[in-house]
A and B are shown apart, each in its own frame.
Chain A
Amino acid sequence: MSSLGQPIPHESATGHVTGTAPYIDDLVPRTDELLVGFAGSPVASGTITRINLAAAKETPGVVAVLTASDIPGKKIIGPLFQDEPVLAEREVLYVGQPVVIIAAKTRVALEAGIEAVSIDVAERTPVLSIDQALAAKRFIGPERQIRRGDTASALAASPHHLQGVFHSKGQDQFYLESQAAIAYPAEEGQLVLHSSTQSTTEVQRRVAEALGLGMHEVVCICKRMGGAFGGKESQATLPAIFVALVAHHTGRSARIVYNKDIDMQSTGKRHAYRTEWEVGFDEKGQILAYRAQFHSDGGAAADLSTSIMQRTLLHAENSYFIPNIDVCGQVCFTNNPPNTAFRGFGGPQAMAVIENVMQEIATHRRLDGLDVRRRNLYGGEGRETTPYGQKLGTNHLPEIVSQLAESCDYRKRYAQLESTNAADRLRLHGLALVPVKFGISFTTKFLNQANALVNLYTDGTVQVSTGGTEMGQGLHTKIRQLVADAFGLATDQVRVMPTSTEKNNNTSPTAASAGTDLNGAAALDACAKIKQRLAGFAAGQFASSRVASTDSGLQQSSELIVFDDGAVYDSRRPDERIAFGQLCDAARRERIDLGARGFHKTPGIDFDRETGRGTPFEYFTQGAAVAEVNIDRFTGELIVPRVDLLIDIGRSLNPGIDMGQITGGFVQGMGWVTAESLEYNDHGLLQSHSPTTYKIPSVTDVPGHFHCQMFANDDDSNNLGVENVGRAKAVGEPPLMHALCVWAAVKQALDSLTPGASSDLRLPATGEEILRCITKATKGSPR
């Protein structure tokens, strides 16, 4: 029986629960291994006047001390623009920016060596916020926009009008395994790297560039990551380069594992945004025109910020049809670590703004937020084209919203809110339903490709390798299922091998929720090639009656060969079977190639950044969620007692894994909208740099009633008319954005205190932020 659609366990689950699944720092050290770390900039901005390395070099146990001048190749790198120094040479751009690499024999020696470095900097006034960047006109990349209709006129003509400035903070990825890499020298200057990275190719390429090697001299391997969430898409490169440099200079193997504090202080996060918005709408809350100007805190280098801003613009309208819309976005330069990818990739920040607007409209018109959202929801004649001109194709949003509102008893609960709030002297209650539509595909077209290598062995077992990396999301389990299903094998007959540039070259990062769509399709392409060969061979075998017990008389027909249940047969003679391993062995003897490389590129997508028009997405994952919240009127403390969620992810390849993505993404999103608050001091040093001070959700923050369901449908193709892998839809990022309903429910609760109480509520809605709104609205007296 096929495992597709079955909740089979994660392929490494047994290793996880017994502690035997190794991560980078668990790999047995080679006897010559050095431990690597770095000394970073003490300030956010300035010019280095002197680096004193003498004490570090003399520290017992320190073996190598390297600076920018020791980089043999490119000193400036970056995934999109080459603007990020591997090591700061003259200018320092953020606190903690790596300046000096230290390699030592022991951890104690390494720490002593790092502390012995002194870096003198002539300090400059840093740019530490979007506001400061705007004042100083410090930007990264061009401003981009997406426009439809005549927004200015429509705004002017709208009977109702609101505007404001919305602020959302950044968020740390908080993967549990920090940035980590091991390098060891191979023959003739070649280098092997083990990296905790979402993109083996990115690491391979940047290491080769920094060392002045050909890419063919560098192999990068990733078995698994202890979480990534976007934080290891581009930013795994620096630590990998550091160990590569040490290996290059010392001829010894080298290991780096950031500690949590260094990781949080020196790596990029989800971008903070500042958005000016303006909306025109009618009596019923229908939006006639919407304008938004997004500014993000890009940090001190471009990293992926411009792509992230692109996705912001592509999600400005979330799930709503807005006839006149004008959104533009500009990345700002600041003296923070370069901000980077994080689940949602700019989408959440855009959707937070429009959901704030929805709630504002509802309060302004004294309407139920659900009615406002439904009135604006995509659907109906002429209302299914996005601002950038892509037809929505399959649109389940109206059904999903109706079904969810009904199943969670939204109307009845909403109707009770007023009396509940009037009666409860201690707590404020709120309720909100928020839909989510998220575009699937890299918005950079060329990244939408993948290759795979499938090798069969003569016992009928299979190894598959793709460029997709395993970070816990279950990609390898799904690929294992797909390949096993293709050959009619049990999943334990298939192994997904460590991701390595040696087997899969020029790969895209595992990101954009597209890991399975791309790598799964590539693996299936390879399987199809092998199956074609094997089917032809098997058909010949059956026809020549080598296995048939009676006179075959069958017309040879490879199309009728079936791979099922560990065996192969002609569908006309299902009782005459060859064991799969036996067939493989026989095929080899006939010199049939039992390996293949597969390739996949997403068809039909195209987008023009300049004009802001096109078809950037293969399809959209859609869903909705409802949150109920309780707020302590006196302290602002928040409890989320109930959440109901409904999401369309097509036919789930593995409901166990997919449900884990849903609950996990949602709770991570709850962290962003409620409790995770990055706090910096006036000098740009992150103060909340470990779990003591940076509070990701804990088990007791999970709603007591947390009901997540998958929307049942029989869609057989995506909106471009192409059948997706297993008819599944991507699940990785969208659940995070569903948590916006929690934030919206807080806003709704506050407005029940007095309309407009929440008008400047920021994100995250921490207890402090909520109490600020309560205090303002009640003039200091919460009752």
Chain B
Amino acid sequence: MPTRDHLQIWINGHRHEVRGDDMFLSLSDFLRDRLRLVGTKIVCSEGDCGACSVLLGRPKSNRLEYQAIDACIAFLFQLDGTHVVTVEGLSGGQLTPVQQAMVDCHGSQCGFCTPGFVVAMHGHCEQMSSGERTNRDEPNWRQALTGNLCRCTGYSPILEAAERAQAAGCPSVAERYPPAPLLAEIANSATDELEMASGRRKVYGPTVRSDAVKFLVENPGATIVAGATDLGVQMNKRHIAPTDFLLLNRLLEFRKVEVNDQGEEGRVLMAGAMATWADLETVLCKELPQFSEILSRFGSPQIRHMGTLGGNIINASPIADSLPVLHVLEAHLGIEGPEGSRRVNINDFYQDYKQFDLAPGELLAQIAMPLPREDEWLRLYKITRRRDLDISTFTAAIRMRRDRDRISEARIAYGAVGPIVLRLPQTEEFLIGKTFTEETMRLAGDMAATEITPISDVRGSADYRRQLAKNVLLKFYHEEHPSLVVV
């Protein structure tokens, strides 16, 4: 396996070799400061506004798949063998239909968010033309643009422009940048192992998982880089300044998502730790729509194109959106280490705030999610101040089975009400054998409130969280109740 000490990145069709300290720059800084491609704007440096959106083209079955990402929280060392298209690179002189529609529909006012919107719109066009999304209506555009903030327009003119561009038919990026030569160039070095260093900092990008483990054993303080959607924020805001990085994105089998039928045990969704949220969405929307619905509000398209399931689990935040459902599904984590591999139930994985059952040298490789049977109830809740692109104030997963009108099984997991995501054993115990009534769920809510230890913070008070912990069980009752009326 050849080893390389520098990066190869293609930007707007041109190949760039990057060495030295520049490898540790954010993509947005590299574009703006080194290449003077200043159309990519910086506002928040934390992936929460989308002004820095660019298209990231990654090889996927004989084509380049272009997805919008936030350039401010992507580091160059993550981007070897990719093709980045910036707002400057979208058109070859003439405005694209997206750009023209934004002009004609007054989609820009101050213009600062506009390049990001234009890129995100092109990203959505790419997805639609690849057949991954077929709905051709406005709500779909709304979902596609949740990663971009605009303070001027009230979004209406932008949505109008999006529909107009779609009607006009937006040419794909591949039309401007023929994929064959790019793919050929990229393929030449795609299987290289990366071993890059500059000053005190080093990055290792193995292509074999045992090498990753070996590196971790030798460098116990190394920072594992999955999608970097949180790492990027921590580094940009100078909360941390790691020096050793282990890249997992060259371990291609870590991105696989598939559903296995395991007979008695039912169907199990197997996901590699490096599967992005976007990868998962395509499977979950059929297999576990409740999770898919939560995912549609997880971060933004830009975040979901980079962020990974494994990253969410290992980041170990008590407000991580994937954790409550994984807890009630009794998901198993496949862990690789110097002693071989092992499996652990996620309910046994977390010990305390950001503390979990992973020994030095160990690595999360795979997640197995047993899918619920059809006769089970599963509901997930993500309570936020703003519907989209907001970190949860409170999260919950409630899973139940009934035997006639009695509850036979109950699993409840709450997030953001303690140092880790909590299962509620007393409340679950209380529910088993009870009749499924409003009163039962009210009492369960009261009990749930005693099993949690919420704190007050910028996203909500402890009282609010305690009230939500109570109410969500009543909400579950009213949503599942057969005589439900929704107007």
- Residues of chain A touching chain B, judged by Cβ–Cβ distance below 8 Å, are 7, 9-10, 12-23, 25-26, 28, 111, 115, 173-178, 224-229, 259-261, 420, 423-427, 429, 471-474, 632-635, 637, 639, 656-657, 659-660, 662-668, 675, 677, 679, 687-688, 690-693, 695-702, 704, 706, 708, 766-768, 771-772, 775, 780-783
Contacts and interface: CB of A to CB of B under 8 A. Distances in A.
B109 A660 contact: yes
A698 B149 contact: yes
A425 B481 contact: yes
Contacts of A782: 471, 474
A560 B154 CA distance: 46
B390 interface: yes
Interface stretch (B3-11, B74-82, B139-147, B252-260): B139-147
Contacts of B463: 772
Interface in B111-136: 111-115, 118
A176 B43 contact: yes
B74 to A, nearest CB: 17
B195 interface: no
Contacts of A668: 151, 154
B256 to A, nearest CB: 31
Nearest to A657: B106
B158 interface: yes
The interface centre, meaning the residue of A227, A424, A659 with most chain B CB atoms within 10 A of its CB, is: A227
B159 interface: yes
B486 A424 contact: yes
Main secondary structure of the interface of A (DSSP, over half): loop
A699 B102 contact: no
Contact of A766 (B103, B155, B385, B442): B385
Contacts of A19: 37-41, 86-88, 114-115, 118
A660 B152 contact: yes
Nearest to A735: B154
Contacts of A228: 110
Main secondary structure of the interface of B (DSSP, over half): loop
Contact of A695 (B118, B155, B390): B390
A260 B86 CA distance: 22
B142 A699 contact: yes
Is the interface on chain B under 10, 10 to 19, 20 to 34, or 35 or more residues? Answer: 35 or more
Nearest to B236: A259
Contact of B458 (A260, A679, A708): A679
A693 B49 CA distance: 12
Interface string B442-479: 10000000000000011111011001101110110011
A771 B464 contact: yes
B114 A16 contact: yes
The interface centre, meaning the residue of A13, A23, A688, A775 with most chain B CB atoms within 10 A of its CB, is: A13
B51 A176 contact: yes
B341 interface: no
Given A19-B41, A224-B110, A700-B143, 13 more contacts: A13-B108, A19-B39, A19-B40, A19-B86, A176-B110, A176-B150, A420-B487, A635-B383, A635-B468, A692-B48, A768-B464, A772-B463, A783-B478
A772 B111 contact: no
15 contacts: A14-B95, A14-B99, A17-B98, A18-B115, A173-B151, A176-B149, A226-B110, A425-B481, A474-B109, A664-B152, A665-B154, A667-B153, A675-B385, A700-B146, A772-B464
Cβ-closest 3 pairs across A and B: A19-B39, A472-B110, A226-B112
Contacts of A690: 44, 46, 48
Nearest to A739: B154
A343 to B, nearest CB: 10
B108 A260 contact: no
Given A13-B103, A15-B111, A695-B385, A260 B146 contact: no
Contacts of A780: 467, 470
A635 B49 contact: no
A704 to B, nearest CB: 8
Nearest to A261: B237
A524 to B, nearest CB: 24
B212 to A, nearest CB: 30
B154 A664 contact: yes
B472 A7 contact: no
Contacts of A775: 467
The interface centre, meaning the residue of B151, B157, B159, B485 with most chain A CB atoms within 10 A of its CB, is: B151
